[in-house]
Structure 1
Amino acid sequence: MSLNRQSLIEEIKLVGNKIEEKKYDIAREMAEDRDSDTDQALEIRVKIVHIIADSFDQGQDSEIMDRITEWGKMTGELAITYGVALDESLKSVSNIRVILGKNLEEIVQTNKLSIETVFEVTRKIDRLLDQAVYAYSTTYVKSYKEIIDKAKEDFLTLSAPVVPILDGIAVLPIIGGIDTDRADVLLQTALRESAQRDLSHLFIDLSGVAVVDTMVAHYIFKIIQSLELVGVRTVLAGIRPEVAQTMVTLGINFSQVKTYSTMQQALSRHMTSEILIK
């Protein structure tokens, strides 16, 4: 015989009360390694059990979903902070389901609750845990991406050092490949450092660039043009024969730019020139 609506509500509320009473015991059961468990980790688990217990009180669905979402975001950020792998932390969600299921079974048997109550409570728990996993995963991935992007930005910045050698003269060594992101960093760094150091000449060393294709040559030409607009003369060094041949083949006009096969050659020629003496 099916329960009437009021009886179902009362039984569901009873389950919530019992879970609330046992929340610390349930949270301790969830620990995969109790010997290394911390008070902070325990309180985080207690919080989700508390939210689930509160969900069995009627009329709070939207508030409960907001709270479980915030819990998921918080734990996702903490996982990134403490270097917890995503797959490892998601395993704990399965453990939460198992422990809650075990406690729910005991509550149902002890209080002789109806099958309707079991189904309703199970649906609520699954919905909340699914939302927690979603919030946790999206926050984790977003935070991880932000860290990767920041690391990439730092790397690109460090990979574009402007090294002063004399008053008004500096060298920009380029090592490795050049893509759109790195080209932007090289351009911004060259312009910023030229202004800050009041440069008149900037030597760009290409000896560490393995491949010069149309895109790379275009970026280099763009940097040269931009520097000329702010009054900085550019000298290209480290032009290997195959790189020179590629530039000629691509049809990009570097005729107005001084080019040398090695940085040593470029410096020795220009250190005694009238332009640099002035």
Structure 2
Amino acid sequence: MIGKKIEESKLEIAKNILSNEFEYETELKLSEEIVQLCADAILIGQIDAENRITKWARETGEYAVNYGSELDVLLKNTSHFRQAIWNVIEEASMENNLSIKTVFEVSRIIDPLIDQAVYAFSTAYVASYRSSLSHAQEVFLELSVPVVPILEGVAVLPIVGDIDTHRASLLMETALRQSTEKSLTHLYIDLSGVTIVDTMVANNIFSIIYSLQLLGVKGILSGIRPEVAQTMIHLGIDFSSIQTHSTLKQALAKHILN
């Protein structure tokens, strides 16, 4: 009786728990689906009910991230959903004079399902959000290491900001790939936008220069700031084996004159 009442009231319940975080028709459909899943668990038993509601919650969590919905707003709406379900249970109990035992039996089905839905939804939302954020960071990093052709066989790789291990790996990969694809003979690596150079950064720059040499590409450094140069000296970093210029303009002027 309770399951049937929930099923008959699913549209009403769904309308009462809308968060306005999704497109109306989509959210109404998703809300009806979870109400139906709860009704089914009572009507036809709990076999596979947890798996079905977990599947619904994960798909909804991923959809929420793609749609740009806020997690806190959606989780806040959970209490409204639980309350709406229990209002229907109360109504069905009074109409049919159901025993307290029956109501408790229903609660042992409904409450764990709702808890599982919230858990699965939250974990799916967070996982999908992290994945989207990671992808956005990868795209940003790729855009932050452009190899810009300026003359036949000559290009500039301007580096701006700090260089960590991940970015250093991307710099290496981009420099080697682009040098090959663009048939470069010279690659000017401009460090004027780099404010901090430590031993790790210096070693990474060395690695890029020497790897370019293996491809027949001459790597040339420019734009080393005075304070960065002083830091490098204090660290005992030796760039004497690499061609360097104080500015990119100076480096390119020398290349053109030669």
TM-score by length of 1: 0.88
Letter in 2 for 1:56: I
Question: 1:147 offset after TM fit, Å?
Answer: 1.1
Bigger Cα Rg: 1
1:11 matched residue in structure 2: none
2:33 alignment partner, one of 47, 59, 64: 47
Question: 1:253 offset after TM fit, Å?
Answer: 3.0
Matched, 1:30 2:12: no
Unaligned regions of 5+ residues in structure 2, if any?
Answer: none
1:236-278 Cα deviation digits (max 9, x unpaired): 00012222222233233322110111111111122222xxxxx
1:178 matched residue in structure 2: 163
Distance in 1 between the 2:6 and 2:50 partners?
18
Secondary structure of the 1:212 match is coil
Distance in 1 between the 2:190 and 2:76 partners?
51
1:109-136 Cα deviation digits (max 9, x unpaired): 1111111111121121111011111111
Secondary structure of the 1:56 match is helix
Judge conservation of contact 1:31–1:37 (CA < 8 Å) in 2: no
Judge conservation of contact 2:19–2:74 (CA < 8 Å) in 1: no
1:2-22 Cα deviation digits (max 9, x unpaired): xxxxxxxxxxxx211221122
Distance in 2 between the 1:163 and 1:29 partners?
56
1:56 matched residue in structure 2: 42
Residue pairs, 1:32-181, within 5 angstroms: 32=19, 38-57=24-43, 59-61=45-47, 63-181=48-166
| Aligned-residue RMSD, C-alpha | 1.6
Question: 1:55 offset after TM fit, Å?
Answer: 0.6
Following TM superposition, where does structure 1 have runs of at least 4 consecutive aligned residues deviating by more than 4 angstroms? none
Residue pairs, 1:247-258, within 5 angstroms: 247-258=232-243
Distance in 2 between the 1:95 and 1:231 partners?
67
Distance in 2 between the 1:26 and 1:156 partners?
46
Question: 1:58 offset after TM fit, Å?
Answer: 5.3
Judge conservation of contact 2:19–2:73 (CA < 8 Å) in 1: no
1:189 alignment partner, one of 174, 182, 186: 174
Q: 1:40 to 1:200 in 2, by over 3 A?
A: same
Distance in 2 between the 1:236 and 1:95 partners?
62
Secondary structure of the 1:55 match is helix
Distance in 2 between the 1:58 and 1:40 partners?
26
Distance in 1 between the 2:19 and 2:152 partners?
63
Matched, 1:210 2:177: no
1:211-255 Cα deviation digits (max 9, x unpaired): 111121121111112111111111100012222222233233322
Secondary structure of the 2:257 match is coil
Residue pairs, 1:211-230, within 5 angstroms: 211-230=196-215
Judge conservation of contact 2:156–2:189 (CA < 8 Å) in 1: yes
Unaligned regions of 5+ residues in structure 1, if any?
Answer: 1-13, 274-278
Residue pairs, 1:11-26, within 5 angstroms: 14-26=1-13
Q: 1:37 to 1:187 in 2, by over 3 A?
A: closer
Distance in 1 between the 2:236 and 2:80 partners?
64
- Aligned-pair identity (%): 53
